[in-house]
Structure 1
Amino acid sequence: MKHLTIIFPQAHSNYSTIACIAGIFEMFTAANAYCREAGKKDLFTVELAGVSKSETLYGGMFIVQPQINISSISKTDLIVIPSSVPFYQNTGQENELLMEWMRKQYKSGADIASMCSGAFMLASSGLLDGRSCSTHWAHADAFRQQFPKVNLQTDQLITDEKGIYTNGGAYSFLNLMIYLVEKYYDRQTAIYCSKIFQIEVDRNSQSAFSIFTGQKLHGDVMVEQAQIYIENKLHEKLSVEDLSANFAIGRRNFDRRFIKATGNTPVEYATRVKIESAKKALETSRKTINEVMYEVGYSDVKAFREVFKKNTGISPLEYRNKYNKEAGGNTR
């Protein structure tokens, strides 16, 4: 039988941590039960492990008690890091014990999966350096600043690279659970679990749920001024040449500083600002799609639709029908 270890993140736990722990136990219990119904043996045993005996959360509302100390587990097959309050390197001896244990287990062949902001713990171990990763879109700027060696892909719901899995925000951890069930059990077991828990299978993007706010914590005053300039010129088609000239800086140097500060090229940034504005209009107004398109500086319906879908995963019409009930009957 394989062994699954859920890491308890100690003082960094929150409501989502508890939800993730419960969800993992319930999902793998159901998968094992499905195996037994088919005349097979349970595939996984699941344990919650930490470095303390228990922790009381939210004024005594919850008491989380790890079943085993992490040091007592010499070999595991799958480690799952639940969502937690994002934390960084050098935050205490207990975290370093977790980091060292995870590195040792991965080197010995264990797979590791992180859920939502659990990616901060995984990245702190160094195991994500040079690899792709996803996390909650709300934490993207802080994550990029803290872990520049990690290839953050916040549009991706799930990443899978060399035995390390990560996923996007909040309760999308359930999609990762379905993915892991299929990976370790089989497709039919995953479909069964998706039906029992009513979770979509094969969902691969969190773009439709993200809110683009623009990274402004970088400290580059010129770039921040350029960002504000772009955000105030939604209706215009801006060229990088004009932007760089406006700030009296060469095009190549402007590009380099902008990408370093924001993680986007100036063109990408302008596009994301425009699409975010279009999303808000589609969510809250009864304007037609064409009206919204013109307001954010597009004149070609096909081009607008393609850019919108690239950034959100769905078409403008699908987006409006999903988030704006009042405007749902307006098909233009």
Structure 2
Amino acid sequence: MILKRKHISILAMKNANYASVVDARAVFRKVNEICKSEHKKDIFHIQVVGETENIVIEDGLVHIKPDITTSALEKTDLIIIPAIRGDMISSNHGNRFLVDWIIRQYQRNAEIASLCTGSFMLAFTGLLKGKKCTTHWQYANEFRFFYPDVTLIDEKIIVEQNGLYSSGGSTAYWNLLLFLIEKYVSREVAILVAKYFVVNLDKMVQTPFIVFNGLKDHGDEDVLKAQEFIEKNYVERITVEELAERCFLTRRTFERKFKKSTHCTVLEYLQKVRIEASKKGLEIGRKSVDEIMLSVGYFDSQTYRELFKKITGLTPIEYRDKYKK
């Protein structure tokens, strides 16, 4: 097996999640260990790259001294954007001087992988415009609000398009790192690394972990009123016509405004609210699946189970067994 040596740039960013920087470095170093033992050479040249020679993160708890600054690094093969903490837009602004360098490297055929909330920084560069990505499910509404020109597939743990990679919530970035190892080296090496770090190699969706919380900061009072009504009365039979009348709008206008504001149709919103309520019932574990189904407004067992699996990726019984308190 002849492998071309690749340069890996792990960005040291302001407001970065330090663990994602360290973990990315550890994964690629482990691959080098394996390749050295088998082929007597490294496969990755790994460098932590920063805008300056000292980056302070984690509220001053951690100082990172990058191996090289962006101004000194002309060419790289893969950029790792770590997860970021705090206010996403402020974090992007604090790292704005990295944008031109990231774009320039991408134009020189570098690939870019954003870990978890690092997708906000990747979107901030403009490279994701018209493309797909994923992010931590908890930040999905915020991402859609700030980057409406990016298609967010928040149920996925890994999304790849045109050399741009993104991963889902928190530790899902391990799966993206392993995905990259499999692509650049081999599945055999990815399996060895997964075993070493005790990571589930083929986890591909984060739907079982998503807690639905409808987008509320859109500024449309009519839609907000409809959302509140749905969330208080989801057990009852709710029609689009009824909601439109409550807002003194035509059905067509109401549906258009609702979809634009929440990124869901009215039916999708109602379904997600009901399934979220049934998840909580299953977590408590005191009622049967059918009792919970009836308590959230469904009367057809097959429809309920199919919808539950579509939204969560698990059957109601699988979900209860996994998350029962």
1:38-68 deviation digits (Å, cap 9, x = unpaired): 2253211111111122234456532211111
Change (3 A) 1:132 1:59: closer
Provide the residue aligned with 2:201 in structure 1: 201
Matches within 5 A, 1:213-228: 213-228=213-228
* 8 Å contact from structure 1 (residues 234, 295) kept in 2: no
Distance of 2:56 and 2:104 partners within structure 1: 29
Residue 34 of structure 1 aligns with an amino acid whose one-letter code is I
Question: Is structure 2 residue 175 aligned with structure 1 residue 175?
Answer: yes
Residue 135 of structure 1 aligns with an amino acid whose one-letter code is T
* 8 Å contact from structure 2 (residues 274, 296) kept in 1: yes
Distance of 1:322 and 1:91 partners within structure 2: 36
Matches within 5 A, 1:89-238: 95-238=95-238
Distance of 1:59 and 1:88 partners within structure 2: 17
Give TM-score, length-normalised by structure 1: 0.92
Change (3 A) 1:40 1:233: farther
Give RMSD over aligned pairs: 1.7
Provide the residue aligned with 1:298 in structure 2: 298
Change (3 A) 1:40 1:160: farther
Distance of 1:194 and 1:57 partners within structure 2: 28
Change (3 A) 1:276 1:316: same
Structure 2: gaps spanning 5 or more residues: none
* 8 Å contact from structure 1 (residues 50, 70) kept in 2: yes
Distance of 2:183 and 2:238 partners within structure 1: 46
How far did 1:140 drift? Answer: 1.4
- Please identify, of 143-152 and 260-269, the stretch whose mean Cα deviation from structure 2 is larger: 143-152
Change (3 A) 1:229 1:43: same
Provide the residue aligned with 1:9 in structure 2: 13
How far did 1:303 drift? Answer: 1.1
